[in-house]
Each structure stands twice: as C-alpha cells, then as structure tokens.
Amino acid sequence: METIETRGAGASAKREYDRRRARDEAKIRDTWGNGRIGTIAVALSGERQSTVAWKSGAAGEAEVGRALDAIANEHLVVLHDRRIPRSRANIDHIVITRAGVWVIDAKRYRNKRPRLQVDGGLFRPRTEKLIVGGDRTKLVESVLHQVALVRDVIGPVSTHGALCFVDADWPLFGGSFTVRGVDVCWPKRLAKQLAALDGTVDVIAVAEAIAMHFPPA
C-alpha cells in the first residue's frame, strides 16, 4: 500500500475555488486599487456563482470522502480526487472492495430531491432520466464514462458507478434508486452498502493498478 499516493477528497476542487477567488479579487483591485477602497470593494462584492460552485463542490466531495474513509480497511481501499490522463477532468472517489470497484461522483444539490423518471416502455423504447430540480441525466452519462475508463484499466473486475448527493432532500424512508445501472444515494447509505460487500477481488493489486493509471489530481 506504500506505493499508493493519496490526498484528501475535494482537494483539486478547493484549489480551483481558491484560484478563481483570487482572480476575481484581482479584477476588483485592478479597478479600485490595493488600498482601503479596494479592500472595501472586495468585501462588498459577492462571490461569482461560478466561483461558489467550486467551493460547494469541494465541500460535497469532502463529506462523501469522510463517509468512505470511515469504512476503509485492508479489504477496502478508498482513493480520492484522481486525475483522468490527457484530460482536465477528475474522478471524485474510487472504492476498491473484495466484491469489485465503485466509481463515485459526489454532487451537492441543496434541498432538491433526486428522483428517477421513466418514459416509454410498452410501445416506445424505455428511457430513464435523473431528475434533480431538472433533467440531470448528463451526470449519469459522466459517471458511466468514468466507469468505462476504470474498466479499461482493470479488465474483468466488476466495476460499478454511483452518484452520491449531499444535502439533498432525501425522504425519511427509501429514496435511493438506480438509473441506467448507476446507484443514486447519499453518503451514509453508500458507505453502509460498500462496507457490507465481500468477494474474492485482490484489493491491493487492483488499487495499485488504478492508482498508477489515475494519479492524484
């Protein structure tokens, strides 16, 4: 396990937030200067929504990361914030268990309820959509793409995808579901599900192969 380099969940999203915040502040100071007036202008200027989104994303990844780290052991390895080669994108979390590998994307949608919408069926092709205050099926497609990338590295090892929503409006009972083969749930539910799995996968060998191909972001 010494060969696997790990970093905290949400690290790259936090760095991007800090970079954007510094850039936004620099633009304000270009107009108002670096003195007292510039400092006041910075304090009075609200953060841009595109900048805040990175801060929220980092917080969501960190919360999911804490839930996953709590179940990590010699039979369950957790990798956070892994860079996709030849891309600016990253994979939020990868969990290697004795039953297989889970590729997890953390999302933070405050007070919005994830739900499955099924169209068609008997006379039309069945389609499944992820709804979270609007059509978010692209999130599912993104996870499936990440699953395919990981599967290309580890071959026949069972590989699954999950979308883990933080601060969503989950019901008191039930609520989790699967859309196009991707599990949709919340951090504690996901961690409990993964901790209960068992199988014959060589966790260390698979984790090392994944960590080598997907370095820390």
Query: Residue 149 domain-assigned?
Result: yes
Q: What's 96's domain CATH number?
A: 3.40.1350
**What is d(CA 30, CA 47) in angstroms, rounded to the nearest whole number?**
16
> Would residue 13 count as lying in a domain?
no
Structurally, the chain folds into a number of domains equal to 1
Residue 86 lies in a domain: yes
**How much is the CA Rg of the chain, to the nearest whole Å?**
20
**pLDDT tens track of the chain, all 217 residues?**
444 666 677 666 666 667 777 777 777 777 777 887 767 766 767 677 767 565 766 888 999 999 999 999 999 999 999 999 999 899 999 999 999 999 999 999 999 999 999 998 777 888 999 999 999 999 999 999 999 999 999 999 999 999 999 999 999 888 999 999 999 999 999 999 999 999 999 999 999 999 999 999 8
In a domain, 155, yes or no: yes
In the beta sheet, which residues pair with residue 104? 93, 162
Residue 33 lies in a domain: no
Residue 156 falls inside a structural domain: yes
pTM of the model: 0.83
Rounded Cα gap, residues 61 and 78, in angstroms: 13
Domain, as residue range, for 114: 56-213
Kindly state whether residue 35 falls inside one of the protein's structural domains: no
The shares of helix, strand and coil residues in the chain, as percent rounded to the nearest 5, are 40, 25, 35
36 inside domain: no
